[in-house]
Amino acid sequence: MKKRIFSGAQPTGQLHIGNYLGALKNWVALQDEYESFYCIVNLHAITLPQNPKVLRQKTLDLARIYLAAGIDPEKSTIFIQSDVPEHAELTWILSCIARMGELERMTQYKDKGKGNSERAGVGLFTYPVLMASDILLYQTDLVPVGQDQKQHLELTRDLAERFNRDFGETFTIPEPFIPPVGANILSLQEPTKKMSKSDENANGSIFLLDDADTITKKIKRAVTDSGTEINFDDSRPAIKNLLTIFQLLTGKSASECETHFAGKGYGHFKTELAETVVEFLRPFQDRVKEFDDAALDAILKPGAEKARSIASDTLKSVYKKVGIA
Ligand code: ATP
Ligand code: LTN
């Protein structure tokens, strides 16, 4: 029996190269070896205000991006979170064993809630419990995510262990898969913080659907460090970040990248990086257009059915264990 993967992304904002390199690229790479479930987490999306008119569209657009990135519906299950009501149901049960203190320590809540509990929604606070439910419903072995989700994975493991201890063996304890390179792609404008969908400054992110001109401009404007060398040096995070993007898109080793740019200036480096990104994204952007709504429906509907058949088994066993059914 293959081991199982679960991961997801929110249909908010626009997906950027950080989401691709930190998460999607690995989802694609792992789908042969694992039985994989890739979810569009629209219930997570509404933990911050969304425009209802565009949320449905964004949900479908994200399915297109999964497919264009190379997730193969013949190998992996792609589905929309809200099509499987067990996610919300298990969230209630796990909310009853999660502790306020452990959720208060979640840095994403602190960042996104801006430390203002009068204004922050309860959904934003319990967001990690919904994420734990996503993962635990599928008896997941491995969760490929970027560095920013590590803390949520630890909470998921804690909740699973607590439930198993209090009610008897029920959940598989999942392991995170955080890639050694690319798990924290930084903003091109402020290379001390992560490239983020919710960044107000669009120049900090290369979006997967940006056109060639925009990509080239963003890379030309990217902040650099003092010095001239193009190498992987932790004390020069801006260049290291750009070089990491180059490395992951070309598949070269770190030392090959350094040799490749030895003696070259920032101008040359940025031009070549921009060409590499544009050439990488061109076929991806063509593929995005291939899937119309009917084609998506033909993938997402059976995806949800397959997911549901597993999720409902887990939920039934949970209800039994807690004395509800
Ligand atoms: P935001 O950027 O607004 O915080 P997010 O991280 O919530 O967005 P999702 O679409 O839910 O965005 O994330 C999808 C995946 O991309 C997650 O596994 C996340 O860890 C990963 N990811 C997000 N930002 C980066 C980044 N800068 N570098 C590497 N991986 C990232
Ligand atoms: N919280 C994640 C998205 C997410 C997820 C999940 C990732 C929701 N549920 C389950 C992995 C497994 C984020 O904000 N990037």
Residue 114: DSSP 8-state: T
The residue written with tokens 């997402």 in the block is: 300
Q: Look at residue 213 and tell me whether its pLDDT is greater than 90.
A: yes
**Nearest residue to 223 via CA among 244, 249, 241:** 241
The residue written with tokens 């009917």 in the block is: 294
d(CA 47, CA 121): 7
Q: Is 44 in the pocket of ligand 2 (CB under 6 A)?
A: yes
Report the residue among 19, 62, 66, 206 best suited for mutation to probe ligand 1: largest number of ligand atoms under 8 A from its CB. Answer: 19
Q: What is the pTM of this model?
A: 0.97
Please confirm, yes or no, whether 25 is among the known catalytic residues: no
Q: What is the pLDDT of residue 49?
A: 94
**Which atom of ligand 1 lies nearest, measured to the CA of 13?**
3
Q: What is the pLDDT of residue 32?
A: 98
Report the residue among 47, 131, 139, 195 best suited for mutation to probe ligand 2: largest number of ligand atoms under 8 A from its CB. Answer: 131
Q: Look at residue 7 and tell me whether its pLDDT is greater than 90.
A: yes
Distance from residue 149's CA to the centre of ligand 2 (Å): 7
- CA–CA distances in Å: residue 316 to residues 168, 171, 217, 223: 14, 12, 53, 53
Distance from residue 19's CA to the centre of ligand 1 (Å): 5
- The pLDDT tens digits of the residues spanning 85-130 come to 999 999 999 999 999 999 999 999 988 888 888 889 999 999 999 9
Among 53, 114, 193, 194, the one annotated catalytic: 194
Q: Look at residue 33 and tell me whether its pLDDT is greater than 90.
A: yes
Ligand 1 atom 22 nearest Cα: 19
Are 185 and 176 in contact, with CB atoms under 8 Å apart? no
Q: What is the pLDDT of residue 119?
A: 87
Question: Domains of the chain, with CATH numbers?
Answer: 4-178+292-322 (3.40.50.620), 202-287 (1.10.240.10)
Are 203 and 171 in contact, with CB atoms under 8 Å apart? no
Q: Is 183 in the pocket of ligand 1 (CB under 6 A)?
A: yes
Q: In whole numbers, what is the pLDDT of the chain averaged over residues?
A: 97
Among all bound ligands, the one having the nearest atom to the CA of 23 is 1
Average pLDDT over residues 203-227: 97
Among all bound ligands, the one having the nearest atom to the CA of 62 is 1
Ligand 1 atom 18 nearest Cα: 145
Among all bound ligands, the one having the nearest atom to the CA of 198 is 1
d(CA 185, CA 179): 11
Q: Is 144 in the pocket of ligand 1 (CB under 6 A)?
A: no
Distance from residue 298's CA to the centre of ligand 2 (Å): 24
- The pLDDT tens digits of the residues spanning 295-309 come to 999 999 999 999 999
